[in-house]
Structure 1
Amino acid sequence: MAFVLDLSESKRAEERLRASETRFRTFVDHATDAFFLHTDDLTVIDVNRQACESLGYSREELIGMHPRDFDGAIDEKALSTLVDRVDAGQPMTFETLHRRKNGTTFPVEVRVGKFRQEEQWFRLSLARDITDRRQAEDAIQLARAELAHVSRLTTMGELVASIAHEVRQPLTGLVSSGNACLRYLDADPRDIVSARRAIERMISDAFRASEVIDRIRAMAKKSPERRDRLNVNDIVSETIALVSSDLERSAVSLRTNLSDGLPPIVGDQVQIQQVILNLIMNANDAMAAMPKGARELIVSTGKAAPNTVLVAIRDSGPILDLAKIGDIFEAFYSTKPEGMGMGLPISRSIIEAHKGQLWATPNAPHGAIFQFTLPTDEK
């Protein structure tokens, strides 16, 4: 009789286990993420319904595949590194592209881990379709680029007098050298040596005018984001060239302290120039209320960490209120009645998109220090 009872209890336990497995299978099959169960060598041994629907394969087709059969982006080296990290006990999350049976691809976020059942090791990967997220990020990126372009145009409008001065100088030089050249050629005897020097000055002034126009065009035009290897000192120098006349008219004493031998950064030159331009113009505006002899602007560069460069803009305007530091980077916050309040938020978003940081601190006894860091391209 006890034997019969033991069998009945064993049967009920098996039924409960099967029911539990069925519930779990139902739960997994109705999950919105794609589940892939792998052996230790990454061979697929089971999948859920979402995996089949997202990739366009049947369950039977997916079983026996390897991730490289449907991953359209990961290479063998990256896969090997991933396996090593998971084997070391690190659950990993990464983004890649999955390739459907029809050849089309879509972005996914994959989380992978490893577990042991009895004496056997298994791997589990969960893939989430992030197409909507990528589209939203692209829309945000486009909106940010449009806003940045508007901000650049606004700033260039504020610099129109400075720009006109920068262009007028070499043009005036051209006219002056041209008239001198004519005089040397009309002289008796002709002064060929002096005429040649005048023509050389004309060529130099023409190049200067062209460079000014090129800088203005680069700042004003709307173009797709680029990622180039850049020298941060060159970017600072080119930006200062755009605003030097404006600073002179505002009686601002400008000093630069650019460190030699800085490693290159990777980024969009126009966008980084825009950040520096915004910070310099803000500093210029902030010092307008100070006595003329007390307006000092210092632009410096340096190495903040082994793989990071630092750009700092210090002014001698009113002391920065610590209570308002958090507000100044908020959209539409401005201390100027006519200000849009978008320069600093846009600047911060540009720097963060370059994997850097932008912040502000008081510059005792007067003014503010705006600093940003950017990662270098050191190998």
Structure 2
Amino acid sequence: MIRGIQSMVKKGAPERGQVNLNDLVLNVVRMVNPDAVLNSCEVQTLLDPNLPTIEADPIQLQQVLINLVINAFDAMRNTPLSRRKVVIATERNSDGAIRTSVRDYGVGIPEEVRDRIFDHFFTTKAEGLGMGLGIVRSIVESHGGTVAAENVEGGGARFDFVLPTSAPAL
């Protein structure tokens, strides 16, 4: 995480290139697998096989996904083992943008904090710094995208970020 923060604050433009989000998701799943095992969580993927590549910084987008998945693991600490599952999905929207979602089966987002969860230094965790979701928002917005979160029927939360298929001007 420290390296991700350092790369965000270093001077200069991000290193953008053509990124296949499905490949990036699969790479992140491999990276977080030790944490998944440690937290007794299953990670599943539902990937749209027909996604175009996007112009993006792959390291920054990896950081977005890692933050969202680790938060999902944390949200399920008190969830029965049989329900500890994270689902990462990709799809192309009708407007051509690409939506990536991370869904957990944890406690969901308390209504009273929902509007603040993407603020820097806001946290509901005793041991948290409140940086993770703020970093997620900053990275996604720097790529011309949007991020949102909602509680899901049946329990848990889903975090979606939507990225355009054409890169914003730097």
In structure 2, how many angstroms separate the alpha carbons of the residues matched to 1:248 and 1:223?
A: 36
Q: Secondary structure at the match of 1:235?
A: helix
Aligned to 1:295: 84
Tell me how far 1:367 sits from its aligned partner. 0.9
Instruction: State the 1:235 CA deviation.
Output: 0.8
Instruction: Tell me how far 1:306 sits from its aligned partner.
Output: 3.1
Q: Which has the higher contact order (CA 8 A, sep 6+)?
A: 2
Q: Does 1:361 align with 2:160?
A: no
Query: 1:319 & 1:239 partners in 2: Cα distance?
Result: 23
For residues 79 and 4 of structure 2, the distance between their equivalents in structure 1, rounded to whole angstroms, comes to: 26
Maintained 8 Å contact 1:230/1:265 = yes
Q: CA deviation at 1:229?
A: 1.2
Letter in 1 for 2:46: N
Picking from 326, 329, 337, the partner of 2:118 is: 329
Equivalent residue for 1:372, pick from 151, 154, 161: 161
1:83-232 matches, cutoff 5 A: 150=2, 152=4, 224=12, 225-232=14-21
TM-score with structure 2 setting the length:
0.89
Q: Is the 8 A contact 1:251 1:295 kept in 2?
A: yes
> How far is the alpha carbon of 1:314 from its aligned partner?
0.3
Structure 1: distance between partners of 2:3 and 2:80? 29
* Contact 2:4/2:60 (8 A) holds in 1: no
- Partner AA of 2:4 in structure 1: R
Q: Partner letter of residue 359 of structure 1?
A: A
- Aligned partner of 2:139 in structure 1 is 350
Q: Is the 1:316–1:368 contact (alpha carbons within 8 Å) kept by the matching residues of 2?
A: yes
1:338 aligns with 2:127: yes
Aligned 8 A contact 1:320 1:363 in 2 = no
CA distance in 2, matches of 1:343, 1:280: 11
Q: Alignment partner of 1:263: what SS? A: coil
Gaps of 5+ in 1: 1-148, 155-218
Aligned partner letter, 2:155 = H
Q: Give the fraction of aligned pairs with identical amino acids, expressed as a percent.
A: 35
- The alignment partner of 1:326 has SS state of helix
Task: Verify: 1:319 aligned to 2:108, yes or no.
Answer: yes
Once the two structures are TM-superposed, the CA of residue 153 in structure 1 deviates from its matched residue by 6.4
Gaps of 5+ in 2: none
Distance 1:304 1:345 in 2: 24
Following TM superposition, the consecutive aligned residue runs of length 4 or more in structure 1 with deviations greater than 6 angstroms are none
2-structure distance, mates of 1:242, 1:297: 14
Q: Is the 8 A contact 1:319 1:365 kept in 2?
A: no
Report the alpha carbon displacement of residue 223 of structure 1 after superposing the two structures with TM: 8.2
CA distance in 1, matches of 2:161, 2:115: 16
Alpha-carbon distance in 2 for matches of 1:326, 1:243: 28
Confirm or deny: 8 A CA contact 2:93 2:99 kept in the other structure. yes
- The residue correspondences of 1:271-310 to structure 2 (distance < 5 A) are 271-310=60-99
Give the number of the structure whose alpha-carbon radius of gyration is greater: 1
Q: Aligned residue pairs: how many? A: 165
Q: In 1, distance between residues paired with 2:42 and 2:142?
A: 32
- TM score, norm. by length of structure 1: 0.41
SS at match of 1:332: coil
Q: 1:266 aligns with which of 55, 63, 73?
A: 55
The answer (yes or no) to whether the contact 1:328–1:344 under 8 Å persists in 2 is yes
Shift of 1:321: 2.1
